Amino acid sequence: MNLKDFVLEGHRTFMPNVAVDCAVFGFHNNELKILLLKWKYIKGWSLPGGYMKHTEDAELAARRLLKERTGLDNIFLQQHHTFSGITRAKLSAQNLKMFDKILGVDVPADNWLHARTVAIGYYALVEYSKVAPQPDSFTESCEWRNIEDIPPLMFDHDEMVTRALKTLRLQLSHQPVGLNLLPLKFTIGELQSLYETLLGQPLDRGNFRKKMLSTGILKKTGERPTGKAHKTPHLYSFNKKAYAESFKSGISFP
């Protein structure tokens, strides 16, 4: 669907008023990353997102959007908050002027994109190395940014990131995290580093190790990474069955 069709005929495919926005988190080089889009004409940054199709619920829409942006299926997704501030409407109007220029036709005042939009916020956890960031026709780039180094975002997306992180940290305290963010094989040190990054505080090495091993969600692979200096740690993977059980029944951390 090209831009003109989207603006003028999009209401046949998409539901007006309701959009989905995703905070996609990855973990690389011991740093938490987030996937951001840079828009073509207005030059702003935003989270990946879009309208829901008439045939989709919000989660399915999020999965479609994320498949397009990352190439991945079966992403870990969690709804965190729905944003409905009345100022969201004004931002839409601003964008519409832009469409007028680009399309070279007047967009009618009752166009579906003029409507105020409520955004259902999701966060996604993905394995950094498996993502192939793909911009769409509206955006000039789609890239990972360090969570500590995010440019000012459009709309209320700064608040979305804050809330997504807050919900993720809450999840961390009563459910395991890591299966979706780490590669298949990883060291306990890497897992600890992930937890430290998400919590924003250092953790005791010995105690973290003890705690994690006691949950039974880790499985020793027998392998060790090569080429690293000093003693190399064991590589672990998640015991998916035990992980799923812990996820369901809940574990407290710390």
Partner DNA sequence: TTCTATTGAGTACAAATTACTCAATAATAC
Partner DNA sequence: GTATTATTGAGTAATTTGTACTCAATAGAA
Distance CA(93)–CA(91), nearest Å, equals 5
Residue of 101, 226, 248, 249 interacting with DNA (CB under 7 A): 226
The answer to the question of residue 79 lying near its own copies (CB under 8 A) is yes
Task: Please check whether residue 164 is in contact with residue 29, taking contact to mean a CB–CB distance below 8 angstroms.
Answer: no
From 12-20, 109-117, 146-154, 227-235, span contacting DNA (CB under 7 A) = 227-235
- Contact characters 36-75, its own copies, x per CB under 8 A: ----------------x-xxxxxx----------------
Distance CA(226)–CA(208), nearest Å, equals 24
Q: How many CA atoms lie within 13 A of 190 on its CB side?
A: 20
Residue of 4, 81, 211, 234 interacting with its own copies (CB under 8 A): 81
Min dist CB 154 to its own copies, Å, is 18
Following DSSP, what letter does each residue of 161-173 receive, concatenated? HHHHHHHHHHHHT
The answer to the question of residue 245 lying near its own copies (CB under 8 A) is no
Q: How many CA atoms lie within 13 A of 79 on its CB side?
A: 13
- Nearest residue (CB) to DNA, 141 versus 214: 214
Instruction: Return the structure tokens found at 106.
Output: 């007047």
- Nearest residue (CB) to DNA, 44 versus 216: 216
Closest CA to 176 of 129, 230, 238, 115: 238
Instruction: Return the structure tokens found at 64.
Output: 């479609």
- Contact characters 167-206, its own copies, x per CB under 8 A: ---x--xx--------------------------------
Task: Please check whether residue 36 is in contact with residue 143, taking contact to mean a CB–CB distance below 8 angstroms.
Answer: yes
Which amino acid would we find at residue 88? R
Distance CA(254)–CA(252), nearest Å, equals 6
- Interface of this chain with its own copies, residues 96 to 125, rule: CB under 8 A: 115-116, 118, 120
From 26-34, 150-158, 178-186, 226-234, span contacting DNA (CB under 7 A) = 226-234
| Among DNA, its own copies, none, residue 42 binds (CB under 5-8 Å by kind) | none
Residue of 73, 206, 222, 248 interacting with DNA (CB under 7 A): 206
Residues in the chain: 254
Min dist CB 207 to DNA, Å, is 4
